[in-house]
Amino acid sequence: MTTDYITESVVRIEDVIKDFEGNGSDVPFRALDHVSFEIQRGEMVAIMGPSGSGKSTMMNIIGLLDVPTSGRYWLDGEDVSNLDRKQQAHVRNDKLGFVFQNFNLLPRLSALKNVELPLVYGRISAAERTERARAALTAVGLESKLNNRPNELSGGQKQRVAIARALVGNPSMLLADEPTGALDTRTGSEVLELFRELNHEQGITLVVITHDAEVGRQMDRVIGLRDGQLADNILESYYGVALEPSITKVPEMVEIARD
């Protein structure tokens, strides 16, 4: 028996192509063009690139909201390239949490009820749902706003409710599309600080789409896209920002035994 040291990938994307039909042309539009990368457990990664470069398309595939035209996707070591909608939904509920630019909270429900929502479809008692939603809101510093509705909260607080909702199902990965896009700089930094805390304290893997070079600079790594292809050093080449070498993190090694 030999012992191999490998990194533990949460996401492994291999040679993914995404073509969109029906854009008024006979030729499908290639939004992702032979993309391959991995994301390690506990990494904080930004996906960056010009508008239309394929970021949301990539996020939808990682988030099991869409399927690649070809190529493979492994999530937590499981091949999820060809799941049907029902299987996708199951894995999504089990492993992923989503945060969106415009929060997507239900206006008539309190913060607590909004956070309970993802648990309603599972086999969890009402009392436990409330307890877990309360704990998630406490984790994001909103224990004093449990009964407030979204319109009674600031932008940053709304985003923190959305983050609590994404966390309440104990996901292995948090996916965020422009989470600070609707927030002012200072509130955006607070949300970012919260992500960093969750990453350090709970080891949660974070993937954010952002146009904000400052957000990108604070991640462990930036995956750059340009015209549907991976682009090296996008922070410098497109956003004109140099990445400090000190924040490039080496993934933790995991020991596995092999025959």
210 is a contact residue toward Mg ion (CB under 5 A): no
Q: Which token pair is 3?
A: 């012992």
Which regions of 21-60 does DSSP assign to beta strands (E)? 29-40, 44-48
Terminal Cα-to-Cα distance of the chain (whole angstroms): 5
Backbone angles phi and psi of 20, in degrees to 5: -110, 125
56 is a contact residue toward Mg ion (CB under 5 A): yes
Output 56 or 159, the one with its CB closest to Mg ion.
Answer: 56
* Cα of 79 vs its chain's centroid, Å: 19
When CB distances are held under 5 to 8 angstroms depending on the partner's kind, the choice from ligand ATP, Mg ion, none that residue 121 binds is none
Output 55 or 129, the one with its CB closest to ligand ATP.
Answer: 55
Q: Least distance in Å: CB of 148 to ligand ATP?
A: 30
Q: Around 232, how many Cα atoms within 13 Å sit in the side-chain half-sphere?
A: 0
Q: Binding residues for ligand ATP, per CB under 6 A?
A: 20, 23, 29, 31, 49, 51-57
159 is a contact residue toward Mg ion (CB under 5 A): no
Output 52 or 122, the one with its CB closest to ligand ATP.
Answer: 52
* C-alpha to C-alpha distance for 259 and 253, rounded to whole angstroms: 19
> Amino acid letter at 223?
I
Q: Least distance in Å: CB of 248 to Mg ion?
A: 25
Output 60 or 148, the one with its CB closest to Mg ion.
Answer: 60
Only segment of 50-58, 74-82, 129-137, 194-202 that touches Mg ion (CB under 5 A): 50-58
Residues in the chain: 259
Output 56 or 180, the one with its CB closest to Mg ion.
Answer: 56
Q: Least distance in Å: CB of 89 to ligand ATP?
A: 20
Candidates 160, 188, 200; CA nearest to 44 is 200
